[in-house]
Amino acid sequence: MTGHNRGSLTTGRADGGGHLPLRPLWLCRSCAAPWPCATARLTLSQEYASDRTALIVYLSLLLHEADEQLYTLDPAGAPDPRHLFDRFVGWARRLPPVAAPPPTPTSGASDQPTDQSATP
């Protein structure tokens, strides 16, 4: 894999408060919910707000990894592929076109230092 390392949850940049997948169970290391948990989804949606395609590609790769590992762990009890797809990728496809960043506690800060399209 090349050219697709932009600080994902598995590379450690955005730890999302530690809401990382615990392989091969694919549960959240922090809250023990099926990964990606709500916090991990929020972190991912913010991290990939400007590149939804990359997010879906990334989640698809994790989906395949999880599918293999969960099946290996328990072939009889492996999740339904449709359920697994919705868990890993479906939520990201339903995100609004542009994910707005959460409101920052320091409101009224200076505007973006770059891309000043309107100059007085």
Q: Least distance in Å: CB of 26 to Zn ion? A: 12
Q: Least distance in Å: CB of 3 to Zn ion? A: 28
For residues 43 and 18, is the Cβ–Cβ distance under 8 A? no
Q: Which is nearer to Zn ion, 17 or 72 (CB)?
A: 17
Residue with tokens 């879906």: 56
DSSP symbol at 34:
B
User: One symbol per residue from 32 to 71: x for binding Zn ion (CB under 5 A), - otherwise; what is it?
Assistant: -----x-x--------------------------------
Among 9, 14, 20, 28, binds Zn ion (CB under 5 A): 28
CA gap 118, 120 in Å, rounded: 7
Q: Which is nearer to Zn ion, 39 or 69 (CB)?
A: 39
Q: What are phi and psi of 54, to 5 degrees?
A: -65, -40
Q: Least distance in Å: CB of 46 to Zn ion? A: 15
- Which of 87, 101, 91, 85 is closest to 28 using CA atoms? 87
Q: Judged by CB under 5 A, does residue 87 bind Zn ion?
A: no
Q: Least distance in Å: CB of 44 to Zn ion? A: 12
Partners of 27 in the β-ladder: 22, 34
CA gap 70, 37 in Å, rounded: 17
Question: Residue numbers of the site for Zn ion (CB under 5 A)?
Answer: 19, 28, 30-31, 37, 39
